[in-house]
Amino acid sequence: MKVTGIAIVPPPTAADLPKVTPELLASVLARYSRSNDGLAHILSKVDLAHPDESIDRILKFVDYGHASIGGLTGGLAIALDGVSMWLAYKIFELAQMADGQESSTRYITMDAANLPTPAELGVPDDLAGQWTSVMARAFAAYNAEYARLDQLGQDKPELIRLPPNAKPAVVARIRKNYALDRARYFIPLATRTNLGLVQSSRMWATTVKHLDSLGQPEARAAAAAIRDVLVKMSPRLMRHSSAEKSYSEQATQELATSCRLGLERLSTAPLADKVWVKVNRETPPWLREEQPLAEALRHRANRYGYQGTATRRARVTFAWNNLAIAELRDLNRHRTGHRYTPLVQAGFYLPPEITHVAHQALLDAQAALTRELMQRGSPAYVYSLLLGAQTPFEHSTHADKFIYEAELRTGMGAHFRYAEHLSAALREFFVQVPEAKSWVVEGTAEPE
């Protein structure tokens, strides 16, 4: 694991603008809101060579509590190389105010050399050999299925949804993605990936505190490494980023729940698709919604258009019983509202082009390892999962955000399985909000 902070410098066109450090920016803007002196007067106290002294002259963080102004530091950029896919998923779950990207499964190394060691992940010593064997077999299955599906795409191009008059390079890319996106369910969740995030110092402090309170040693190592980098950018706020009892207690309870549910539901069989959608359009009696829903939607030229109050005020909760972790990794990044999953293996998804029976021995070995780790209450059980593991997943948000996500994840270029899940959710949404159907654009996810 390697953590790198990226310092933002102004472009040449901004050379004549005032310059501050992230925490100086927070102090200046906080004082600006509590003063009638004007910005120029406050900035006159700034000495970039001595930022801490400048902060104390302008506004001590303790004057109003660090949390109230910590968001004024601007975006602090951090890149994390070589973390597990589980840790990347967890950071996105925790950092709900962050902008970020993770390496696609189409572009990272797929072999056992791209795994952390069992010790780094907290896998018990007596299970290290078993874990290593299962992971190696999973990568072997991935590579074998990728090669077979790639050849299938060449032999039967009608299986691949190609745009009309596609150029050879486009055909080759889409064929490759056809194979990659179907083989990916064998990828271990422990596989190393990279991610970059940008968020304020306040939110970084909360994220690091949360990581430091988890049971996985990889999470705590990441917390320490991120803190060491961020202390160079925002030293005062990073004092508030250590493990804290309430975070640790909740993490312990959530682990126990996951292990209990995981043992009850552990299966390698595919789960039939189920979706649950609840729309709440109630409003206070003294502030009724006046806008027809069509007016909230019909003025948009595309999914990025602004929606009206009729959808922005309606609450939507949607859930699937069987979201594969492969899809969870991306759907988890839709930041609005609250997302929840116990991250268990209640089933195992493989696309129609791959049969379970051909890989049942691997799936049985993987499930046995998961069961043993859960029986021990080990937080390392997450590293025994493959991306095909199906887990319940719930997302609570507002209707405008749900509509955006549904249009995006069924739209051009969306993964075929995203489209299946979101199309199912849309059908249930339309049952409850039928007047939306004429204005929501459900795509076909072509081409892949």
Report the alpha-carbon distance of residue 442 to residue 408 in Å, rounded: 9
* CATH number belonging to the domain at 1-105+191-243, selected among 3.40.50.2300, 3.40.50.920, 3.30.1360.170, 3.40.50.720: 3.30.1360.170
Burial grade of 207 (CB within 10 A; 0-12, 13-18, 19 or more): buried
Query: Does 56 have pLDDT greater than 70?
Result: no
**Under 8 Å CB-to-CB from 72, ≥6 apart: which residues?**
25, 26, 29, 30, 200
Question: How do residues 170-213 score in pLDDT, each as one tens digit?
Answer: 888 888 888 999 999 999 999 999 999 999 888 899 999 999 99
Burial grade of 306 (CB within 10 A; 0-12, 13-18, 19 or more): exposed
Give me the mean pLDDT over the 143-162 stretch. Answer: 89
CB 347 within 8 A of CB 273: no
Please report the pLDDT score of residue 123 as a whole number. 98
- Angle at which helix 85-94 crosses helix 217-230, to 10 degrees, equals 60
Strands 99-102 and 2-6: unpaired
Which part of the chain is CATH 3.30.1360.170?
1-105+191-243
**Distance between alpha carbon 191 and the CA centroid of its chain, in Å?**
16
Please report the pLDDT score of residue 174 as a whole number. 86
State in words which class domain 264-349+388-436 has: alpha beta
Please report the pLDDT score of residue 48 as a whole number. 67
User: Which range among 85-99, 148-162, 187-201, 335-349 shows the weakest confidence by mean pLDDT?
Assistant: 148-162
CB 277 within 8 A of CB 426: no
